[in-house]
């Protein structure tokens, strides 16, 4: 009876949604005493203080086709992080190497369903898809793609191989200070060769961990994201990812409500996860394929590009499409979004709403859309070339040209 009374109090005070979320969290805790926030089975947890990982006795000759494993969390349709990673896989395959996607499958899903998502959403990836827990990997090198997969690589990838880590964000920041934060942070001490996407992540790794990663820049798929002729821009747009704190949807929702008060005549569009009970009128688009998202951008003047860790790819894609991204101002965001195309705003409902209003009230907004689109970064070719070079160097050793360059630099320094 006391539990029922407590549930009734929560229902009265916080509403049905909050009460339901509490029930879900309690069920999760009972089913998984380790807690849903850890997200990693005990058997997969590695420890930098005890790692002793085998390396191959010999390096293959440069030019030999290699087999590269990519340890990947099962992707959801259209996932931005997976899209970036799969671009790297495409480049490695195009260079003549064989790739294997090693799925970090912890939930018993049918592997065929997981592979179907990859084939449907990333059809240019030819890699074989396997379960990372299904025995010997048979690869020359393996690349972790998140903190959980770094633990899987360290704990499951025990055969001799080279090990790398493609880091798209400083992932301890995804969690409160606690167990998951510590385990995520420890992955950067595993000794894998680390490739940081963008200067903000590289600086976090230098400052927080004390390692010197390889660094490669962001790109943008400007073949997809571009202004469309004859488009009529009048709305604003936001990406909804509720339940992922770094994406700031809860703040975006408040900002859009405030914006509607300022400009009730301007249409609001929301895409991504389906959301309910919005306190303002909006057109909900759900998940969109890239071409459909670009068509939506063509109808919008500005959009919220929220991320409280590494800069969101959404910001650069909006710029390429001629949409002014409103971005919460921070030194890390500015580190990887150069130029003056973005509208930097204080991370408050009013600050973000006023930046949206200023963008839609520009008298030259159509011409401005074309100007900012012309400043977008180019394709992902630099990052793809960097990742391919780093992989080949790690497996085969530095090329003769790199050794000559290093020798010249040493001689010049002396």
Residue 390 and residue 214 in contact, taking contact as beta carbons nearer than 8 Å: yes
Share of residues in the chain with pLDDT > 90 (%): 71
Q: Does residue 327 sit in the same domain as residue 198?
A: no
Tokens of 409: 């630099």
- Please give the average per-residue pLDDT across 151-169, as a whole number: 96
What is the residue-averaged pLDDT of the chain? Answer: 88
Q: Does residue 202 sit in the same domain as residue 338?
A: no
Distance CA 244, CA 231 (A): 32
Tokens of 360: 């839609």
pLDDT tens across 13-41, in order? 444 544 454 444 444 444 444 444 577 88
Report the pLDDT value the prediction gives residue 8, as an integer from 0 to 100.
56
pLDDT tens across 85-130, in order? 999 999 999 999 999 999 998 877 787 888 999 999 999 999 999 9
CATH no. for residue 362? 3.40.50.2000
Residue 336 and residue 218 in contact, taking contact as beta carbons nearer than 8 Å: yes
Q: Does residue 170 sit in the same domain as residue 290?
A: no
pLDDT tens across 168-180, in order? 999 999 999 999 9
Report the pLDDT value the prediction gives residue 336, as an integer from 0 to 100.
81
Report the pLDDT value the prediction gives residue 339, as an integer from 0 to 100.
80
**pLDDT exceeds cutoff 50 at 1:** no
Q: Does residue 342 sit in the same domain as residue 198?
A: no
Report the pLDDT value the prediction gives residue 2, as an integer from 0 to 100.
53
Q: Does residue 245 sit in the same domain as residue 352?
A: yes
Q: What is the pTM of this model?
A: 0.82
In a domain, residue 157? The reply is yes
In a domain, residue 194? The reply is yes
What domain count does the chain have? 2
Distance CA 129, CA 108 (A): 15
**pLDDT exceeds cutoff 60 at 376:** yes
CATH no. for residue 161? 3.40.50.11090
- Which run of H or of E encompasses 31? helix 16-31
Report the pLDDT value the prediction gives residue 17, as an integer from 0 to 100.
46
Q: Range with the lowest mean pLDDT among 3-12, 164-173, 187-196, 249-258?
A: 3-12
In a domain, residue 205? The reply is yes
**Closest to 236 (Cα-Cα) out of 287, 316, 304:** 304
Q: Does residue 173 sit in the same domain as residue 319?
A: no
Q: Does residue 278 sit in the same domain as residue 199?
A: no
State whether residue 88 is helix, strand or coil.
helix
**Closest to 313 (Cα-Cα) out of 72, 82, 73, 145:** 82
Q: Does residue 157 sit in the same domain as residue 276?
A: no
In a domain, residue 101? The reply is yes
In a domain, residue 396? The reply is no
In a domain, residue 224? The reply is no
Q: Does residue 181 sit in the same domain as residue 67?
A: yes
**pLDDT exceeds cutoff 60 at 347:** yes
Report the pLDDT value the prediction gives residue 25, as an integer from 0 to 100.
42
Q: Does residue 185 sit in the same domain as residue 316?
A: no
Residues 6+ apart with CB under 8 A from 205: 167, 170, 188, 194, 196, 211, 213
Residue 335 and residue 199 in contact, taking contact as beta carbons nearer than 8 Å: yes
Report the pLDDT value the prediction gives residue 235, as an integer from 0 to 100.
96
**pLDDT exceeds cutoff 60 at 407:** no
In a domain, residue 379? The reply is no
Q: Does residue 70 sit in the same domain as residue 211?
A: yes
**pLDDT exceeds cutoff 90 at 300:** yes
In a domain, residue 26? The reply is no
pLDDT tens across 67-91, in order? 999 999 999 887 888 999 999 999 9
Report the pLDDT value the prediction gives residue 34, as an integer from 0 to 100.
42
**pLDDT exceeds cutoff 70 at 295:** yes
Q: Does residue 278 sit in the same domain as residue 148?
A: no
- Which run of H or of E encompasses 195? strand 193-197
Domain ranges, residue 328: 235-373
Could you tell me the pLDDT band of residue 151, with boundaries at 50, 70 and 90? very high
Tokens of 77: 């349709």
């Amino acid at each position: 009876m006391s539990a029922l009374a407590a549930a009734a109090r929560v229902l009265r005070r916080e509403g049905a949604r909050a009460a339901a979320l509490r029930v879900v969290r309690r069920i999760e805790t009972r089913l998984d005493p380790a807690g849903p926030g850890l997200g990693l089975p005990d058997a997969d947890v590695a420890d930098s203080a005890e790692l002793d990982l085998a390396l191959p006795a010999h390096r293959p000759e440069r030019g030999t086709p290699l087999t590269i494993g990519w340890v990947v969390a099962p992707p959801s349709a259209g996932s931005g992080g997976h899209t970036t990673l799969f671009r790297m896989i495409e480049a490695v395959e195009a260079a003549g190497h064989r790739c294997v996607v090693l799925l970090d499958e912890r939930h018993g899903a049918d592997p065929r369903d997981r592979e179907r998502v990859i084939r449907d959403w990333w059809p240019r990836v030819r890699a074989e898809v396997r379960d990372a827990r299904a025995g010997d990997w048979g690869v020359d090198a393996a690349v972790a793609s998140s903190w959980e997969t770094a633990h899987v690589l360290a704990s499951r990838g025990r055969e001799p191989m080279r090990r790398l880590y493609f880091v798209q964000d400083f992932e301890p920041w995804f969690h409160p200070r606690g167990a998951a934060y510590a385990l995520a942070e420890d992955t950067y001490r595993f000794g894998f060769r680390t490739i940081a996407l963008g200067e903000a992540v590289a600086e976090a790794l230098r400052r927080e961990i004390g390692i010197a990663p390889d660094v490669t820049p962001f790109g943008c798929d400007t073949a997809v994201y571009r202004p469309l002729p004859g488009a009529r821009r009048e709305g604003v747009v936001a990406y909804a990812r509720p339940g992922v704190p770094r994406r700031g949807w809860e703040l975006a929702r408040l900002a859009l409500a405030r914006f509607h008060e300022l400009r009730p005549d301007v249409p609001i569009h929301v895409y991504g996860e389906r959301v309910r009970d919005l306190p303002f009128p909006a057109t909900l688009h759900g998940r969109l394929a890239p071409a459909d998202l670009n068509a939506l951008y063509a109808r919008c003047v500005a959009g919220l590009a929220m991320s409280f860790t590494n800069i969101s790819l959404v910001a650069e894609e909006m710029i390429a499409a001629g949409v002014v991204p409103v971005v919460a101002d921070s030194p890390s965001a500015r580190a990887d979004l150069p130029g003056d195309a973005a509208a930097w705003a204080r991370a408050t409902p009013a600050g973000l709403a006023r930046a949206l209003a200023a963008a839609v009230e520009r008298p030259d907004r159509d011409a401005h859309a074309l100007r900012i689109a012309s400043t977008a970064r180019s394709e992902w070719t630099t990052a793809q070339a960097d990742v391919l070079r780093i992989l080949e160097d790690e497996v085969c050793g530095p090329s003769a040209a790199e050794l000559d360059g290093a020798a010249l630099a040493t001689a010049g320094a002396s």
